[in-house]
Structure 1
Amino acid sequence: MRTFIALELPDATRDALSRLQDRLRAGRQIDEDDLHVTLSFLGEVDLPRLTDLDLDLQALRVPHPAVEIAGLATFGTDPPRSVHAAVRATPELVHLQAKVAAVVRRAGIALPHRRFVPHVTLARFSRSAPPEELARLGRFLSAHGDFRLDPVMVPEITLFRSRLDADGAIYEVLERYPI
């Protein structure tokens, strides 16, 4: 089962990001209900490992992190793979992500060691994105690159299942864990 652990955003934050997406008019936009901050992408995980992980996530206790949207950016070049709202890497958020990664590894799930770059993906782009779409993206970033939202507290983490579909990924909540 393809899974990941994330912070679900409050409705007001998702609404504000959705209104921002309306101005983008480029790429394959992420549905408003699916906007989140990924803490750990687990990939394919079998049920016994998920059971072990579930027990450890139930016991996880860390301070509630604030999620603060602070600017826009892209991943990838020639062309960009995605555009995202950057999330400020507060000490609480970085600590939470490190704890989640440790719990995942303790459950026997291998994770790559990479730097945590907190973000909310707004849209994805194909490798063959037409030049006019990339031009719209450039104008969008110039006009809205300083986009900011007030910090919001997130009191739980969520384990998601991700199923790939012709239209993109479909996310299903498997469990929520108060932190």
Structure 2
Amino acid sequence: METERLFVALTLPAPVRAVLAGFARPLTGVTWTPPAQLHVTLRFLGDVATDALPPLMERLAKIRVAPFVLSIEGAGSFPPNRPPRTLWVGVGSGHPRLFQLRQRLDDALLASGLQLDLRTFQPHVTLARATEVPDCGATPWLNQHRQIAAPPFLVEAFDLYASELRPEGALHTLKRSFPLAK
């Protein structure tokens, strides 16, 4: 059975990606996300059978949420209270339509028979990944950029991506875009 590694995301507009990419600095032990791949993950699906894609896309196409504006602000890291492994910037903290979209997405995915991770949804844009080296530059960067911000943007669609893991990093390919309600 053929599968594809998939995720659902909000694609950031080019001006927002450009602002966020401008915060990247050469730092020991830190690998920055390529600007073209900066996004807000709504749901990671993992490996999905290719024959399950048409009905899945049909359900995703029926999701309706009014378009909304998202803000991007505040840097943080995962895991909390430990040396940073992921540097991120926060997105639309508490925006009701973002969470409404996530809930309707989850409903559609569950109705499609997919198993979902039950972790709390913490919307963010992954800016970089850090290694556990003693002189890693992630913590000083984070301390300097906690108040990071980018222009707010209008969310008018969500996207289904395939993610191919490669030695140089994941390659994300847009499968289909789904417009929100008009």
Instruction: Give the TM-score normalised by structure 1.
Output: 0.91
Structure 2 unaligned residues grouped into runs of 5+: none
1:150 corresponds to which letter in structure 2?
P
RMSD across aligned positions (CA):
1.6
Structure 2 match to 1:82: 86
- Percent identity over paired residues: 31
- Cα contact 1:66–1:93 (8 A) shared by 2: no
Structure 1 match to 2:62: 59
User: What is the SS of the residue equivalent to 2:178?
Assistant: strand
Count of matched residue positions in the alignment of Structure 1 and Structure 2: 175
1:144 corresponds to which letter in structure 2?
H
Structure 2 match to 1:73: 76
Q: Deviations over 1:5-34 (max 9, x none)?
A: 000000000000000123766511110000
Which shows bigger deviation, 35-44 or 17-26? Answer: 17-26
2:120 to 90, 106, 115: 115
Deviation at 1:155, TM superposition (A): 0.8
1:88 corresponds to which letter in structure 2?
G
Which shows bigger deviation, 60-69 or 76-85? Answer: 76-85
- Cα contact 1:71–1:148 (8 A) shared by 2: yes
Structure 1 match to 2:30: 27
Which shows bigger deviation, 146-155 or 168-177? Answer: 146-155
- Cα contact 2:163–2:171 (8 A) shared by 1: yes
Structure 1 unaligned residues grouped into runs of 5+: none
Structure 1 residue runs of 4 or more that deviate by more than 6 Å after TM superposition: none
Greater per-residue helix proportion: 1
User: What is the SS of the residue equivalent to 1:60?
Assistant: coil
Structure 2 match to 1:141: 142
